[in-house]
Structure formats: C-alpha cells, structure tokens
C-alpha cells in the first residue's frame, strides 16, 4: 500500500505537537488560519492535498475515497468501529454523494494523519460551540484549527457522525465531479448534462454509460474542483440507511477483533496487577517447581506478567508466581469517600459552575421548598472483550494491533516507551468488543510495549487481560453526590432550582495520565452535565460543584457526567411534580411549553407508552410507569419505563424511547444504538457498583459485577423523529434517561423513592 502524503512533515515526539500548536496559534493571531483550517478550508485540504492509502489496482482520490478497476469503492474511516456502526454510516455518506452501488462499497480504518483529526470531544468538553454571532463562530473555528493541527484522532463523545458529516460528503461529491468530468472529456460532451447512478456515469442524451471503475485511474489524476454536496431533498439512501457492512462477518465469525490476531512464533502474556489500588510490586519469582525454560516473568512498578507459548499456559503460571506487594500509605476505600461526598453537598459547598438567570415578568412567590439528596456509586466499564494488545517490536520499527478509541495516543505511548520515533510506530486499529470510553486509555498498550522490550526483536507478543484484572484495574465512572433544592410557586411551578454536586473530575485525571498535565484548573463540564443544561425552561438555576479527588482512578464512561447527573436531576423533577400533587408527565409538559422540540419528544414518548393507563403485572406484583427526558450531545431523548415490583425485586417490562437527533442519517442504526444504551443503562442502574475495601476492589467477574441477563431484558421500542436539520449524537444519548425513568417508575409502583445508584430497596 502507498503511504499517505501529509501536508506538514512530522518531527519527533512532543516537539512536533508543540510546533504544530505554535504554528496554529501564530496564524490564528493574524486571522488567516481561522478561515483556512475552519470547516471549508479543512475540507479543501482533505480533498486536494491528502491521499488515502491505496492497494494495487486502486486509485486514491482524497483522504476518504479510493476506487478500484472493478468499480468497488473503499472509504477510509477515521473513527474506530466498536459496534456502533460508524464504518457503515460513513460508507452511507459516501455512497449517497457518490451515487455508487451500496453493495459495492467497503470501509477500512483510516491511517493516522492530520486529515483525520477530530476536535469535537475537546470542543464539547470546554463548551466551545459554534456561536449564533460572528464572534462565536470565529472562536469555534479558531480553537478547532488548533485542535486539528494537534492531531487528536479520537472516537468518543458522540462526535463521530458530526465530525464526518461534512468532510465525507464534500470529499465524495468532489470524486463524483471528477468522474463526470473525465467521462465528459472522453465523450466530448458538456459535463453538466451527465448524471450518475449505481456506480456509473450516464449520458441521458445518447444513452451511453461507463462504470466508475473504467474512469477511476484517469479521474484520480485530475485537479478536484469545489462542489457542494446534494441538497437533502435529493437523498436516496440517507435517512433510511444501508445494510451494516460488518453484519455478515460478525454473524459467521470471520470478523477479526484485536484478540483474534495470530502470527507465527507468537508469544502470549498474562498480567497480574497489585491487589490493592496504589500498591507496588516488591518482588516476583517462580514458586518452587514451577520454573520452566519456555516462560519468563516480566516485572514493573505495580504489575508483573508471565510470557509463555500459549495464553492459557501463561495465565496458569502467573497464578503460581510468588509475588510480594507493598501497600499504599492510605488504602483506598469507597465507603468513606461516598460519605465525604454526602457531607460536602449537605453543607452546600462548591464553587459556581453554571447559572441561568432569566427573571420572569412577574416574580413567583415561593410557597414550598423541596430538597432531596442523591448519590451514585463507582461503575466499571465491563467491555465484552477484555483489554488486549498485540505488538511486534523490531530494532527500527514497531507494529501494534489493538482495539482503541485513540490510535494516535497509542502510537505516542508506544514510541515513548520503546525509544522509537512516532513515525516508526504503526498502529493497526482493530474491531473492538465494546469501547464505552475504556479504550480511550493507553495502559494496555504501554504494558505490551514494556513486555516486548524483554523479548527477542521481531517476536510478536499478545497481551490479554483476565476478566477480573480488567474489572479491578479499570478507570471507573466517578462516584458522585448531589443535593437539589427547588422553590415552588402556588401552582407547583419551579421559581428557582439550586444544585450542589460533589465528585472527581474525569478530564483532570485523564490529562494527568495521558499528557502529565496538572489540569486541575481546567473546567470540566462533565462534572455538571445533566444539571447545568437541563432541557426545561427555568427562570433561575444555579449549579455548584466541589471537586474531591477519587481514591480510585476514574475515566470516561458512556455518557460521562450525564450518567449520574441526569439521574439526580430527572428524579428530582419527579419529586417536584409529586410535591405539587401533579402528574409527572403533565408537569414536564408544562415546563417545556417554550421548548417545542423537547416537548414533541416528550409527548411522543407519552403517547407511545400509553401514559395514564394501568401497567399490567403478574398477580401480587405492583406496577408503575416512569418517564424522563434528557438533552445531551446535541440530541434529545425521552424514555418511559414500565416496571413491576414484587418484594425487593424490580423487573422492567417495557421501555419506550423517543429520540430527536436532528437529521437521522441511518435510522436503523439509531434504533440499534438507543436499544443498546437502554440495556447498558439498565445494567448500570440495577447492578453497577464497584467497592474498594482496605485498598482492594471487591468485585471481579460477572458473578459479583453483574450485567443485565437476556431473560431480564424488557421489550424495547425506539421511535426516531427529525426535529432539527443539525446532526446530533447517538452513541451516548440513550443512556442518561434510563436510571431516572426507572427510579420514577419504581416510585409510581411502590411509593418508595430510591435516591441512590444502583437502585436497591434498603
């Protein structure tokens, strides 16, 4: 395969990153790059200056599209496939604009390069969005330019579709124009009379046609011209979708995940981490009679690994190693930490992080005050495919096969450990058995690189974690606590809403781990997402947050701050409704009268769920229905859940989910994503909990860190509505309403309010 041609020659390591950021900042000061590297400038560069890698017989047109002699189209996708269907979605964007046969298109991981960078996760985290005025738009473009030149290539934060939406369509439209221009030159006819359909260029006047494959090699040599994508009314595929590209391979077992990589002469490693959070390895040696010539022990600060000829053999030997560990000075404990969070919100501590002050024409007299305290436990990711990495280290290069959401960070991490330059490290992103934010970390790649240094050069190594190691070494969702207090008027309307939150900052810990940055001063909106951006029309809202460092390492977890904070906020809205003697659904309708887009989503959920009708349950069980609505990542989701409660057992019978994600590019894909989020949200709401006792994580495998079983999975109905021309996120947004809707349904069934995650009757 030919190598991509970058615009800027890369230097080594951190100096390269600093240099690119300096160039961007300096140019922005003059105003030039704010335009050049904005959306239009970036698309132009991708189309005209960068070529995706092409195999023999393929012609590369730009950063996104290659076409072979048979007319098959391959799309380079800069985001990693972890079950969410991003490869199929980007192929759909290209197929629509290119007018190619949707059965003749495939997707492959894009190489690492500036053309594929994704600034949106950072822009979202810093709350920098395109402004409605000129200044806001310039700020957005300027910061995006810096981030693009920093080269961050990330999959997460419900940003993949938004990041590819314009670039992929413009690139495909340019390819279509090149194919038409080439056919027009061959036939000596005006280009504007030609059409494209099903991977062919057509001349309706003469009935001639020619395939894309016959034109590709010549067309790829032409200079592209600026072409606008199709108007929405001409879409044939988008809004409906195409068959998932990976459905066959995942059905017949031929899909290759990172753990499936095999090579001749491969060695395998199984790892054991310190049994206590923050513990250190003092020594590791073979137990008497266990030493073997075919296995070695590799030791590090807080772990050791055994390398052998098979993973099973390595794992069995690792269990027999005699290891001595030193305990940390202050062993981690989750219960005292949760108590400190509760005490913090009870005394109403915290700094102001958000406020919404819009005094009404006639001030509302507060007649009643409602106060409630909530908390959420630590939660592990529990990806279906445990952490693993395959690596082959030679003297002058290194190849890495890994399921990762941040291939560029993996490359930097491996380069730093091995002493190679970043351009000497080649990362092959593999299919992932779930990401959920866990694969934003680079710890398993770092371990694999350190183990590889102990092997003979050129010998491939696969490191595979056990399930219990995966659970206990996780960067978990932060535990959190909240106090909410509302002043209600005579009709139950919310005159003011105050919220105090306490917990750790994921962004601060992540930046320390990945970049060694003292990032505690940076704003982290995930600490208050789900409360500070409530969808309701409130006249007075104040949010305060107190950062309290976590005893456990915390990381990004599907929906990030919304996972806990939306549970706090939407449970409390329900409490306000009941304190007013009002129906929770009707109460929300009144709060959304000036939010028509959200109101439509809520009303559709109410209609489809049969709100107001009794829930059918088994004899002796109590039934209830709960509702919640959350706006996140540019989308709005409302969910209504039906439950039956018998004793202390909660059974979810049915879930109705309605989503407005703007324009739904692939409706079937949206439905699948929301359904998966419902299942994940129910697992977390009912069972998600990680406890540290005397420094050790109590949970390890699925027996004590449960997920929802198939027999427990309810009927799930997903309705997709188009409420905005913009593109909203999908991957994260289906999870936040699950826990509050479930808690509200349990209250409707039993009259008992559960204010802690996971939901359990005390």
Residue 40 lies in a domain: no
Q: Residue 669 pLDDT > 50, yes or no?
A: yes
Give the residue-averaged pLDDT of 268-281.
Answer: 98
CA-closest candidate to residue 457, choices 400, 401, 392: 392
Kindly report the CATH number assigned to the domain that includes residue 74: 3.30.365.10
Confidence at residue 22, expressed as pLDDT on a 0 to 100 scale = 38
Give the residue-averaged pLDDT of 309-320.
Answer: 97
Same domain membership, residue 411 and residue 301: yes
- Please write the tens of the pLDDT for every residue from 562-618: 999 999 999 999 999 999 999 999 999 999 999 999 999 999 999 999 999 999 999
Same domain membership, residue 392 and residue 360: no
Both tokens of residue 457? Answer: 């050069």
Are 645 and 624 in contact, with CB atoms under 8 Å apart? Answer: yes
Both tokens of residue 371? Answer: 């106060």
- Please write the tens of the pLDDT for every residue from 11-66: 334 334 444 443 333 333 333 333 334 556 666 667 778 899 999 999 999 999 99
Confidence at residue 240, expressed as pLDDT on a 0 to 100 scale = 86
C-alpha–C-alpha distance, residues 180 and 190, integer Å? 10
Give 656-709 as a DSSP string: EEEEE-BS-SSHHHHHHHHHHHHHHHHHHHHH--B-EETTEES--STTTS----
Confidence at residue 131, expressed as pLDDT on a 0 to 100 scale = 57
- The distance of Cα 77 from the centroid of its chain, to the nearest Å, equals 16
Residue 453 lies in a domain: yes
Confidence at residue 43, expressed as pLDDT on a 0 to 100 scale = 67
Same domain membership, residue 346 and residue 208: no
Would you place residue 6 in the very low, low, confident or very high pLDDT band (cuts 50, 70, 90)?
A: very low
Same domain membership, residue 655 and residue 546: yes
Confidence at residue 45, expressed as pLDDT on a 0 to 100 scale = 66
C-alpha–C-alpha distance, residues 705 and 687, integer Å? 7
C-alpha–C-alpha distance, residues 588 and 602, integer Å? 8
Residue 442 lies in a domain: yes
CA-closest candidate to residue 43, choices 150, 179, 148: 148
CA-closest candidate to residue 675, choices 734, 740, 629, 604: 734
Give the residue-averaged pLDDT of 731-756.
Answer: 98
**Which of 464, 495, 510 corresponds to the end of one domain?**
464
Domain range holding 173? 67-105+160-252
| Gyration radius of the chain over CA positions | 27
Q: Residue 665 pLDDT > 70, yes or no?
A: yes
Residue 409 lies in a domain: yes
Residues 6+ apart with CB under 8 A from 751: none
Same domain membership, residue 301 and residue 195: no
Are 725 and 611 in contact, with CB atoms under 8 Å apart? Answer: no
Looking at residue 554, what DSSP letter applies? B
Same domain membership, residue 274 and residue 319: yes
CA-closest candidate to residue 479, choices 281, 345, 356, 354: 345
Same domain membership, residue 459 and residue 414: yes
Q: How many distinct structural domains can be found in the chain?
A: 3
Are 397 and 419 in contact, with CB atoms under 8 Å apart? Answer: no
Residue 51 lies in a domain: no
Both tokens of residue 444? Answer: 């398993």
Confidence at residue 136, expressed as pLDDT on a 0 to 100 scale = 65
C-alpha–C-alpha distance, residues 738 and 311, integer Å? 39
Looking at residue 730, what DSSP letter applies? -
Same domain membership, residue 534 and residue 616: yes
Confidence at residue 292, expressed as pLDDT on a 0 to 100 scale = 85
Confidence at residue 36, expressed as pLDDT on a 0 to 100 scale = 37
Looking at residue 456, what DSSP letter applies? P
Residues 6+ apart with CB under 8 A from 41: 35
Are 492 and 580 in contact, with CB atoms under 8 Å apart? Answer: yes
Confidence at residue 27, expressed as pLDDT on a 0 to 100 scale = 37
Are 86 and 103 in contact, with CB atoms under 8 Å apart? Answer: no
Q: For 355-359, 429-433, 654-658, which range has the lowest pLDDT when averaged over its residues?
A: 355-359
**Which of 220, 252, 284 corresponds to the end of one domain?**
252
- Please write the tens of the pLDDT for every residue from 639-655: 999 999 999 999 999 99
Residue % of the chain over a pLDDT of 70: 92
Same domain membership, residue 681 and residue 627: yes
Residue 674 lies in a domain: yes
Q: Residue 397 pLDDT > 70, yes or no?
A: yes
Confidence at residue 80, expressed as pLDDT on a 0 to 100 scale = 96
**Which of 464, 497, 529 corresponds to the end of one domain?**
464
Same domain membership, residue 320 and residue 194: no
Same domain membership, residue 356 and residue 391: no
Q: Residue 8 pLDDT > 90, yes or no?
A: no
CA-closest candidate to residue 485, choices 540, 535, 529: 540
Q: Residue 522 pLDDT > 60, yes or no?
A: yes
C-alpha–C-alpha distance, residues 186 and 188, integer Å? 6
pTM of the full structure: 0.92
Same domain membership, residue 405 and residue 321: yes
Are 567 and 376 in contact, with CB atoms under 8 Å apart? Answer: yes
Q: Residue 715 pLDDT > 80, yes or no?
A: yes
Give the residue-averaged pLDDT of 295-307.
Answer: 98
Residue 8 lies in a domain: no
Distances (CA, A) of 671 to 434, 575, 660, 680: 17, 30, 11, 14
Q: CA angle, corner 759, sides to 621 and 655, nearest 5?
A: 65
Give the residue-averaged pLDDT of 488-511.
Answer: 95
Both tokens of residue 339? Answer: 């108590």
Would you place residue 301 in the very low, low, confident or very high pLDDT band (cuts 50, 70, 90)?
A: very high
Confidence at residue 225, expressed as pLDDT on a 0 to 100 scale = 87
Backbone phi, psi, residue 460, to 5°: -70, 145
C-alpha–C-alpha distance, residues 608 and 600, integer Å? 12
- Please write the tens of the pLDDT for every residue from 115-146: 898 988 878 776 666 655 566 677 777 777 77
Q: Mean of the per-residue pLDDT values for the chain?
A: 92
Residue 139 lies in a domain: no
- Please write the tens of the pLDDT for every residue from 683-703: 999 999 999 999 999 999 999
């Amino acid at each position: 395969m030919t190598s991509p041609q970058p615009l800027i020659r890369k230097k080594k390591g951190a100096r390269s990153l600093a240099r690119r950021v300096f160039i961007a900042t300096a140019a922005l000061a003059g105003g030039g790059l704010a335009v050049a590297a904005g959306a239009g400038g970036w698309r132009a560069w991708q189309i005209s200056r960068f070529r995706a890698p092409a195999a023999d017989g393929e012609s590369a047109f730009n950063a996104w599209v290659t076409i072979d002699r048979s007319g098959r189209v391959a799309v380079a996708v800069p985001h990693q496939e972890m079950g969410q269907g991003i490869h199929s979605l980007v192929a759909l964007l290209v197929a629509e604009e290119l007018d190619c046969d949707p059965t003749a298109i495939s997707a492959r991981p894009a190489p690492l390069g500036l053309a594929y960078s994704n600034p949106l996760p950072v822009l979202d985290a810093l709350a920098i969005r395109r402004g409605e005025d000129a200044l806001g738009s310039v700020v957005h473009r300027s910061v995006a330019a810096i981030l693009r030149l920093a080269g961050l290539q990330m999959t997460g934060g419900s940003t993949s579709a938004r990041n590819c939406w314009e670039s992929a369509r413009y690139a495909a439209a340019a390819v279509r124009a090149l194919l038409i221009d080439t056919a027009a030159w061959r036939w000596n006819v005006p280009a504007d009379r030609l059409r494209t359909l099903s991977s062919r260029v057509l001349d309706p006047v003469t009935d001639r046609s020619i395939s894309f494959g016959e034109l590709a090699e010549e067309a790829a040599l032409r200079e592209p011209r600026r072409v606008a994508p199709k108007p929405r009314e001409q879409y044939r595929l988008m809004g409906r979708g195409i068959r998932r590209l990976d459905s066959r391979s995942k059905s017949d077992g031929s899909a290759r995940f990172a753990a499936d990589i095999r090579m001749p002469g491969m060695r395998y490693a199984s790892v054991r981490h310190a049994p206590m959070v923050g513990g250190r390895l003092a020594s590791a040696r073979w137990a008497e009679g266990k030493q073997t010539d075919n296995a070695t022990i590799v030791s590090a600060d807080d772990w050791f690994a055994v390398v052998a000829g098979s993973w099973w053999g390595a794992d069995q030997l690792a269990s027999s190693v005699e290891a001595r560990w030193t305990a940390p000075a202050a062993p981690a404990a989750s219960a005292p930490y949760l108590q400190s969070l509760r005490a913090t919100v009870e005394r109403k501590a915290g700094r102001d992080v958000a406020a919404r002050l819009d005094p009404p024409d006639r001030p509302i007299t507060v007649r009643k005050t409602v106060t409630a305290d909530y908390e959420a436990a630590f939660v592990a990711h529990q990806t279906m495919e445990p952490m693993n990495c395959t690596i082959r280290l030679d003297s002058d290069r290194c190849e890495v096969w890994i399921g990762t959401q941040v291939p560029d960070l993996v490359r930097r991490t491996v380069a730093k450990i091995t002493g190679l330059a970043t351009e000497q490290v080649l990362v092959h992103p593999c299919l992932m058995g779930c990401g959920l934010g866990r694969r934003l970390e680079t710890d398993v790649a770092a371990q694999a690189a350190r183990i590889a240094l102990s092997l003979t050069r050129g010998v491939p190594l696969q490191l595979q974690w056990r399930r219990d190691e995966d659970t206990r070494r996780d960067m978990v969702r932060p535990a959190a606590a909240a106090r909410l207090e509302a002043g209600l008027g005579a009709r139950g309307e919310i005159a003011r809403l105050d919220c105090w939150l306490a917990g750790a900052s994921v962004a601060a810990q992540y930046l320390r781990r990945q970049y060694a940055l003292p990032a505690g001063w940076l704003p982290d909106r995930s600490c208050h997402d789900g409360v500070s951006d409530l969808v309701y029309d409130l006249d007075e809202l104040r949010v305060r947050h107190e950062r309290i460092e976590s005893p456990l390492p915390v990381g990004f977890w599907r929906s990030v701050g919304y996972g806990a904070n939306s549970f706090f906020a939407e449970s409390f809205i329900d409490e306000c409704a009941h304190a007013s003697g009002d129906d929770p659904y009707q109460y929300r309708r009144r709060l959304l009268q000036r939010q028509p887009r959200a109101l439509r989503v809520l009303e559709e959920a109410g209609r489809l769920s049969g709100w107001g009708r009794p829930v059918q349950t088994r004899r002796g069980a109590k039934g209830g229905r709960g509702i919640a609505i959350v706006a996140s990542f540019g989308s709005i989701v409302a969910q209504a859940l039906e439950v039956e409660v018998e004793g202390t057992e909660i059974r979810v019978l049915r879930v109705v989910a309605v989503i407005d994600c703007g324009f739904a590019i692939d409706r079937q894909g949206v439905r699948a994503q929301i359904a998966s989020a419902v299942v994940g949200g129910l697992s977390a709401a009912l069972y998600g909990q990680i406890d540290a006792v005397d420094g050790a994580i109590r949970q390890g495998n699925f027996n004590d860190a449960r997920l929802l079983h198939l027999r427990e999975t309810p009927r799930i109905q997903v309705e997709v509505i188009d409420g905005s021309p913009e593109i909203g996120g999908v991957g994260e947004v289906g999870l936040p309403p699950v826990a509050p809707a479930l808690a509200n349904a349990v209250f409707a069934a039993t009259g008992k309010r559960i204010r802690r995650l996971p939901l359990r009757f005390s």
